[in-house]
Amino acid sequence: MSRPAGAIDPLEVAERVVERALRAGATACDAVVVEAESSSTTVRLGEVETVKLSRERRLGLRCFAGEASAVASTADFDAAAIDAFARQVVELARAVAPDPFSGLPDPALLAGDWPDLELYDPTGLEMPPEDRVARAKSCEAAALACDPRLVNSEGADFALGSAWVAYASSAGFAGQYRSTSYSLSVAPVANEGGAMQRDYWYDAARSLSRLADPETIGRTAAARTLRRLGARPVPTQQVPIVFDPQTAASLVGHLAGAVCGGALYRRASFLLGKLGDEIASPLFTVIDDGRMPRGLASRPFDAEGTATRRTVVVERGVLRSYLLDGYAARKLAMASTGSAARSVGDVPSASPTNFHLAAGEHSPERIVASVQRGLYVTGLSGFGVNSVTGDYSRGASGLWIENGELTHPVEEVTIAGNLLEMYRDVEMVGNDLLFRSSIVAPTLKIRQMTLAGR
Amino acid sequence: MTQTPPPQTFFFDRFGLDARALESTLGSALARRADFADLYFEFRTVQGMSLEEGSVKKTTHSVSQGVGVRVLAGDKTGYAYSDEVTVERLQVAAEHARQIASAPGASTSVDLRRNTAAQPHALYPVESAQIARPLPERVALLERVDREARAYDPRITNVMASFAIEEKIVLIANSAGELIADRQPLLRLQVACIAEDGGKRHSASAGGGGRVAFDFLVDDEERALKFAREAARQAIVAFDAVDTPAGQMTVVLGPGWPGVLLHEAVGHGLEGDFNRKGTSAFAKLMGERVASELCTVVDDGTIPSRRGSLNVDDEGVPTRRNVLIEKGRLTGYLQDRLNARLMGVEPTGNGRRESFMHYPMPRMTNTFMLAGEDDPEDIIRSVDRGLYAVSFGGGQVDITNGKFVFSASEAYLIEGGRIGAPVKDATLIGNGPDVLTRISRVGGDLKLDEGIGVCGKDGQSVPVGVGLPTIRIDGLTVGGTRA
């Protein structure tokens, strides 16, 4: 996992590309260079199943010809190839219509100095292959040892990787950062009387030392899988719904989609025109934090060099801020929130970073205990969310709540409502917030939704 | 626009490689005791262009290239890839990939005899010049799409239309001595409309394409404009939508894209990997009845010009027509080389991967149900109270417990045998191994989708097709809000 000798620095490549593009006739431009290496080791039923190693190096260039722009990407870093590439992008830009909102971001918002976000911890990158296998094996073994009904497995996967991101623009910004990631997951399969169930658990972190131990991950996966055995549908009815942290995060994710710039200037968001309005229960506070130390989506600057920051999106139910990149900000006559993200070959667009629902005061047990009859949701499936109207209808699985206690598992039902009503109907928020992925939430209780079943 | 050279020559010229370099890499990959090794070279260009607010503001051009080296030993897979294609990187990748094979093996030499045998299929004989037209022509088409959608109804307030013109050149070399190349064009046009009326907003999208020339969009059928009108129509229909009923009811699916039912309910569950490992709800059902006698379901990678079609799969195996369910009985799984070998059957031409960064898995191509004999209108008339669903968004399945969902984006109530009011978007949920047993009527109107499908599995996306005649399902749970 080291750089090949003689390889050039990604930031040097980015700066050189910017210079070549200006020489090719671009009136302004910016370039992103990403170098990444990763490895994943999958073990299934105690044996290595796959080992995968990867190495990527890509360059993305955006060129402006006045108010028109184009973006292209390449993996060919040869100097002559880069010259030809830059000329081609400029030519592409000249073929499209001018857009008065296009351009590089406001220079005043560019990142200056930034604190160490603790995103890079190479201790662990050099872990020998046999240790990677051992880690995945012990995770799966811990899961399967929990119960004789755990008879099969989709395997345990241990992955680690590093990335080096560099960005330079003709506005004079040049910056780079490195990051590492480590993750471990397992998906055991249980069988009881011929009926099978599968679930999974995982952890992910910037440092190996902060990754949950394999046994804990394995045991959690086992418990999640076993509790699904014997699941059945329940009759169609309207009931309170408790979302576990995993599924509650998806509700927060739908909110993230609706507050991002693109959905707003395209008028394709159910939160359009609602800035300053009460869109949710007063228990609902949502924060996007691009500079959370060790955050899985943290970065010192966004994909246009703008400084990232902590943005309160919803404050006690009131919609306070959208998430904007430079373009969306100009379209909406607002300021960028440093939310630009881009895959190297694409136009930057606003996207959440560490986006989370702030923890509330109730333990998850207390939330479940507050429900007379209802559904505790641990799994959701499908794409039945309309981001323009907020209409919501998804497949659900979980556990039935009767008199405040979890009873039998439930599957093959749907839950439906409208996101705006659901956010307003939040009655309790849990104290169990953990940053295991970039969009997270604690346990959440919604007053009532329509459950469709038998 | 220049003529593309034959794929094999293309890679050898571009990267300064020759057959001997490939043979030596494969030999190195097999330096420990392994069953199989292959190299997958890929060069892919995607030209994107998008229009919104009446003008084309975005163009993208992405070039990716690289090679993946795979080693199979027993049921183990070693995989390494690099986007730098040099003899040196190939060796490094081969050394990494062979890590999974622990036992030392005899040195193996691979002879890539120039296999000059003709390709088994020529399903998309489209030259580069026919797929990528000059920029001004592309801009003009998107502008026509915009005008067509807006002309449909004054309530259409924004149109987003985009192209993706993709060309993928692949070269596969394996330890069995095969050297196989293919050039895979792929065109897609997508149109999304936003409609607004008195503070209410709706959106809808439509589109299509395939492994076709640009003409597909602009020939006499003017498909591009048809997709524009279709997106506009669906967005306008939504203004009249009433709350969807909740609970189990009779559901009639219209022809074409609603075939996503088959993709989710049975297709994934019949992929060889899940069945070899015994993690699919269909794992022990081969030869058993899993659908009503009216149902015959096939996966066919050989339909000319289709989005899900391939001359050879991503392991170089010719695609074919595989019957998955015949008159209600389970008859076939979808296989790649690894799972076919471990299950003692032939590969079925379903080994697919997203790119050189991924190893292949058993995947669907174009999955559909054969036509039956019923008149589609009779099928609707046969339902007293139910739902008629004609357009869908995506779907998903848990292959282990068999539960699948798919989300209707255009559906209507059926009342007294007649189509009634449109309803709001709703998810339908069922159980894969038994939903097809509830099919009581199959129409004679089989239709394949327009060519926009993307299938995801283990983080890998591949283009696919689906198809269905009108069918009646006696009892499926509809996830509405009206209890």
Task: Kindly list the domain boundaries of chain B, sorted by start residue.
Answer: 7-239, 246-479
The two most distant CA atoms of chain B are separated, in Å, by 76
pLDDT at site A2: 41
Give the model's confidence band at B111: pLDDT under 50 very low, under 70 low, under 90 confident, else very high: confident
pLDDT at site A436: 93
User: What is the helix, strand, coil percentage profile of chain A, to 5?
Assistant: 25, 40, 40
Give the model's confidence band at A61: pLDDT under 50 very low, under 70 low, under 90 confident, else very high: very high
Nearest-angstrom CA–CA distance, B87 and A118: 37
Nearest-angstrom CA–CA distance, B184 and B308: 11
pLDDT score of A408 more than 90? yes
Question: What token pair was written down for B434?
Answer: 């038994």
| Topology at the third CATH level for domain B7-239 | PmbA/TldD fold (3.30.2290)
pLDDT at site B2: 40
pLDDT at site B114: 59
pLDDT at site A299: 98
B476 bridge partner residues: B249
Nearest-angstrom CA–CA distance, A76 and B67: 14
- Of the ranges A197-211, B99-113, B373-387, which one carries the lowest mean pLDDT score? B99-113
Give the one of B393, B398, B483 whose C-beta lies nearest to A238's C-beta: B483
Give the model's confidence band at B115: pLDDT under 50 very low, under 70 low, under 90 confident, else very high: low
Closest CA to B407 of B422, B397, B392: B392
> Which residues from B are below 8 Å from A95, CB to CB?
59, 135-136, 139
Q: Are strands A354-357 and B76-82 parallel, antiparallel or unpaired?
A: unpaired
Contact between A220 and A201 under an 8 Å Cβ cutoff? The reply is yes
Min CA distance, A278 vs chain B (Å)?
18
B281·A196 Cβ contact <8 A: yes
Q: Helix and strand tally (H, E) in chain B?
A: 12, 23
Q: What is the pLDDT of residues A283-311, one digit of tens each?
A: 999 999 999 999 999 999 999 999 999 99
pLDDT at site B238: 97
B401·A49 Cβ contact <8 A: no
B61·A453 Cβ contact <8 A: no
Give the model's confidence band at A5: pLDDT under 50 very low, under 70 low, under 90 confident, else very high: very low
B57·A102 Cβ contact <8 A: yes
B427·A394 Cβ contact <8 A: yes
pLDDT at site A105: 94
Q: What is the pLDDT of residues B315-340, one digit of tens each?
A: 999 999 999 999 999 999 999 999 99
pLDDT at site A3: 46
Q: What is the pLDDT of residues B120-135, one digit of tens each?
A: 899 999 887 788 788 8
B403·A397 Cβ contact <8 A: yes
> Which residues from A are below 8 Å from B194, CB to CB?
266-268, 388
Q: How far is CA A212 from CA A34, A201, A216, A295, B61, in A?
A: 28, 11, 7, 15, 41
Q: What is the pLDDT of residues A143-201, one digit of tens each?
A: 999 999 999 999 999 999 999 999 999 999 999 999 999 999 999 999 999 999 999 99
B208 bridge partner residues: B189
Q: How far apart are the first and last CA of chain A?
A: 54
| Mean of pLDDT values over B179-200 | 95
A382·B279 Cβ contact <8 A: no
pLDDT score of B167 more than 90? yes
A-proximal residues of B, 298-357, CB under 8 Å: 357
Min CA distance, A410 vs chain B (Å)?
12
Q: How far apart are the first and last CA of chain B?
A: 59
Domain A10-224 carries which CATH code? 3.30.2290.10
Counting Cβ atoms within 10 Å, is residue B459 exposed (0-12), middle (13-18) or buried (19+)?
Answer: exposed
Q: What is the pLDDT of residues A121-130, one digit of tens each?
A: 999 999 999 9
Nearest-angstrom CA–CA distance, B84 and B98: 19
Min CA distance, B262 vs chain A (Å)?
15
pLDDT at site A230: 97
Name the 3-class secondary structure at B334.
strand
- Of the ranges B91-95, B276-280, B367-371, which one carries the lowest mean pLDDT score? B91-95
User: If you count residue pairs, one on A and one on B, with CB atoms under 8 Å apart, how many are there?
Assistant: 258
Share of chain B above pLDDT 70, in %: 98
Looking at chain B, which residue has its C-alpha nearest residue A152? B279
CB atoms within 10 A of CB A214: 23
Nearest-angstrom CA–CA distance, A141 and A59: 42
Asked if B425 is an interface residue toward chain A (Cβ–Cβ < 8 A), one would say: yes
Q: What is the pLDDT of residues A349-370, one digit of tens each?
A: 999 999 999 999 999 999 999 9
pLDDT score of B181 more than 70? yes
Residue ranges of alpha helices (H) inside B207-269 are 215-218, 223-237, 260-262
pLDDT at site B110: 85
Here the ipTM equals: 0.94
Looking at chain B, which residue has its C-alpha nearest residue A413? B429
> Which residues from A are below 8 Å from B393, CB to CB?
383-384
Min CA distance, A52 vs chain B (Å)?
5
Where do we find the tokens 């939310």?
A339
CA angle A221, A227, A228 (to 5 degrees): 95
Q: What is the pLDDT of residues B211-222, one digit of tens each?
A: 999 999 999 889
> Which residues from A are below 8 Å from B480, CB to CB?
393, 416, 450, 452
Question: What token pair was written down for B317?
Answer: 């195996």
Nearest-angstrom CA–CA distance, A124 and B439: 54
Q: What is the pLDDT of residues B52-70, one digit of tens each?
A: 999 998 888 999 999 999 9
Give the model's confidence band at A410: pLDDT under 50 very low, under 70 low, under 90 confident, else very high: very high
Q: What is the pLDDT of residues A88-104, one digit of tens each?
A: 999 999 988 899 999 99
Q: What is the pLDDT of residues B395-438, one digit of tens each?
A: 999 999 999 999 999 999 999 999 999 999 999 999 999 999 99
Residue ranges, comma separated, of all CATH 3.30.2290.10 domains in chain A are 10-224
A52 bridge partner residues: A40, B79
